[in-house]
Amino acid sequence: MIAKHIKNLPPSGIRQFFDLVLGMPDVISLGVGEPDFITPWRAREKAITALEEGMTTYTSNKGLFVLRKSITNFLEKRHNLEYDPEEEILITVGVSEGLDLIVRSIVERGDKVIVVSPHFVAYPALVEIVGGQVLYLKTRQEDNFKIDLKELKRLMKENPKAIIFNNPSNPTGTAYNTEELKKIWKVISSKDTLVISDEVYDELIYEGRTTSFAALDEEAKRRTILLNGFSKAYAMTGFRIGFACANKDIISAMTKIHSFAMMCAPILSQVAATEALRAQKEVAQMRSEYKRRRDFIVKELNRVGLVTPKPQGAFYCFPSIENFKISSLDFAKRLLFEEKVALVPGSAFGKEYDSYVRISYANTLDNLKEAIIRIERFLSKL
Amino acid sequence: MDEILEILETNARIPLEDLEKLTGKSKKEIEKAIKDYEKKGIIVKYKAVINKEKLKSSNGVVALIEVRITPQKDVGFDAVAERIFKFPEVKNCYLLSGTYDLLLTIEGKDIHTVASFVSEKLAPLSSVKGAVTHFMLKKYKEDGVILSKREKNERLAITY
């Protein structure tokens, strides 16, 4: 009954593990991919008012103009990046939808797409659904999980249609500075390859200056599909609001699919997102809280014996469990059963990453402290 | 605001070791900074926010009192305010703009204690022109903390 290419989609072992975690009470979870903060009140209040005022309709396919305009203004301020709010931006249902739309818009059967690994699970899956071929660009812990330019050059020889990468990265927390991005762009610009730049953690960077891939130069902007959204920095995962910025041809293709499959993003969420852009003070507070937790958890993980490079962004770190000679899934399962601490096995982010685990520090300091005590006790038994 | 203050403002009981790990500063630096803040009166006091509604034994009352006063020559409101805030019954004392001058918070064991404070101590002062007493019925939020109902964030325990 089910189409073959859907049936074969990985990762199956991980799904079972997720179900185990979800079925177990009183777990301290370091496995959560969303903020532990609640959406800033001003954004919630705006949505409540909109509901009271009867805003319950569709919006235009591309999304409310006031939201598109607010976002393009924001990008101009933040990255000196200009997009036309009429034709170069589309409001999507989370970055997830944006990803799906861009892959469906540009990838044809047999097209090659580079995915930088370890990667967010949806990247290869979406490429495979449309019959594209994934070329994995593996990064290593000794390089702080940053792209190896030689390896990139090697894969570029295969004339990929696009490259998908996440800056800062889920699961490693790695963020590239402007100089590093320029070097990557120099290699990519030698071909016609498009850049799908998932920048959903862009506002959660704790040191160093970075920029949007699209802001590198005019040609980079022409070839980049900038994906971002409100889920992470604004703690709005449940609102499901993302956006895609790109040249008008690409946005118009994405809008076509979006208008058939989704129609538009929910109006209340769009209203809330417009207001959220004004909550920069709250975003800054959350950012400084994440930074402190990062400093705490990275120090503690290294102390208890998990080699963990210090990530620059997002709210994840990606420690190595290599010394313990155990698969990441077994490590995660035993830690769950023996100490009731949940984390995500590294193999979920690429099969080469079976000697890593992803730890999310989007959790209270008290929970992080208790988790460290339990992890330390667990490691002593391994 | 300094990071140390930001953290202490939300959790004054945080252990020194945690402050060290959170700020990246050494124990010595942190201790010195805190001492300095205490000396300068930037950190005034460490206290717990207690939800007294939940304490069955405690049945004291809280009153907010609006006080109109006559400012005195040369010293203005300050001297009168001092005369009033020195009473130990006065928990808070603010000078405000608007229809009255001082806003006091008074805590007493019952309504009579507060009433007698007003009639015997506050009202007889020559610079007090009038006082309006409001008894507090319920506290919803105090010092930025919501007391009545906590917001919940029920995330799934594991997500990508």
Asked if residue B84 lies in contact with residue B95, where contact means CB atoms within 8 angstroms, the answer is: no
Residue with tokens 């010293």: B75
The whole-angstrom separation of Cα B64 and Cα A314 is: 46
Tokens representing residue A198 in the block: 């998932």
Interface of B with A in 10-69 (CB under 8 A): 18, 21-24
3-state secondary structure of A103: helix
Within 10 angstroms of residue B71's Cβ, the number of other Cβ atoms is 14
CA distance A18 to chain B (A): 6
Q: How much is the ipTM here?
A: 0.84
When CB atoms are compared, the residue of B6, B153, B158 closest to A31 is: B158
pLDDT at A12 over 80: no
In angstroms, the separation between the Cα of residue A235 and the nearest Cα of chain B is 11
- Name the residue with higher pLDDT: A57 or A16: A57
Q: Which residues of B touch A21 (CB under 8 A)?
A: 157-158
- When pLDDT is averaged across residues A47-52 and rounded to a whole number, the result is 96
B160 touching A (Cβ < 8 Å): yes
Q: Do A31 and B23 touch (CB under 8 A)?
A: no
φ, ψ dihedrals at A21, nearest 5°: -60, -45
With an 8 Å Cβ cutoff, are A348 and B160 in contact?
A: yes
Q: What angle do CA A321, A323, A329 make, to 5 degrees?
A: 35
Q: Which residues of A touch B158 (CB under 8 A)?
A: 18, 21-22, 29, 31-32, 342, 344
Residues from chain A contacting residue B155 (CB–CB below 8 Å): 29, 32, 34, 36
What pLDDT is recorded for position B154?
Answer: 83
Query: Average of pLDDT values for A243-267?
Result: 98
**Poorest-pLDDT segment among A12-21, A162-171, A284-293:** A12-21
Q: Which residues of A touch B141 (CB under 8 A)?
A: none
Considering only the beta carbons, identify the residue of B3, B7, B157 that sits closest to A31.
B157
In order of start, what are the domains of chain A with their CATH numbers?
4-39+281-381 (3.90.1150.10), 41-278 (3.40.640.10)
Closest chain B residue to A345 measured between Cα atoms? Answer: B160
Angle between helices A122-129 and A94-106 (to 10 degrees): 40
Write the pLDDT tens digit of every residue in B94-134: 999 999 999 999 988 889 999 999 999 999 999 999 999 99
pLDDT in tens, A218-246: 999 999 999 999 999 999 999 999 999 99
Mean pLDDT of chain B: 89
> Is it the case that residue B42 has pLDDT exceeding 70?
yes
H/E run at residue B104? strand B102-108
Q: pLDDT-based confidence at B24, cuts 50/70/90? A: confident
Q: How confident is the model at residue B58 (pLDDT cuts 50, 70, 90)?
A: low
The mean predicted confidence, pLDDT, of chain A is 96
% of chain B beyond a pLDDT of 70: 98
pLDDT of A258 reads: 98
Q: How far apart are CA A138 and CA A196, in angstroms?
A: 17
Is residue A30 pLDDT above 90, yes or no?
yes
Tokens of A136: 């994995």
Angle, CA of A283, A284 and A288, to the nearest 5°: 120
> Over 80: is that where the pLDDT of B151 sits?
no
Q: How confident is the model at residue B75 (pLDDT cuts 50, 70, 90)?
A: confident
Q: How many helices (H) and strands (E) does chain A have?
A: 14, 12
Lowest-confidence segment of A203-217, A288-302, B54-68, B140-154 by average pLDDT: B140-154
* pLDDT in the model for residue B54: 77
Q: What is the pTM of this model?
A: 0.87
pLDDT band at A320 (very low <50, low <70, confident <90, very high): very high
The pLDDT of residue B143? 80
Q: How confident is the model at residue A348 (pLDDT cuts 50, 70, 90)?
A: very high
- pLDDT of A325 over the 70 cut: yes
Query: Which of the four pLDDT bands, split at 50, 70 and 90, describes residue A11?
Result: low
Phi, psi of A44 (to 5 degrees): -65, -40
Q: Is the pLDDT of residue B56 over 70?
A: no
Helix (H, G, I), strand (E, B) or coil at B128: strand
Using one digit for the tens of pLDDT, what is the confidence trace for A74-123?
999 999 999 999 999 999 999 999 999 999 999 999 999 999 999 999 99
| Contact call for B155 and A36, based on CB within 8 A | yes
Collect all residues with Cβ–Cβ distance below 8 Å to A205 and sequence separation of at least 6: A168, A175, A312, A313
Going by their DSSP bridges, the two strands A357-360 and A316-317 should be labelled as: antiparallel
Q: Locate the chain B residue with the closest alpha carbon to A25.
A: B157
Looking at chain B, which residue has its C-alpha nearest residue A294? B22
- Going by the DSSP 8-state scheme, the letter that residue A215 receives in this structure is G
The answer, yes or no, to whether residue B147 has pLDDT greater than 90, is no
Residue A309 has pLDDT above 80, yes or no: yes
- Interface A-B: count of C-beta contacts within 8 A: 56
* For residues A330-355, average pLDDT: 96
Element (H, E) at A19: helix A12-22
Closest by alpha carbon to A314, among A191, A169, A216, A159? Answer: A169
Residues of A in contact with B156 (CB under 8 A): 22, 32
Is the model's pLDDT at A14 over the cut of 70?
Answer: yes
Q: Alpha-carbon torsion A71, A76, A81, A82, what sign?
A: positive
Count CB-CB contacts under 10 A for residue A109. Answer: 8
Q: Which of residues 12-51 of A touch B (CB under 8 A)?
A: 18, 21-22, 24, 27, 29, 31-34, 36-38
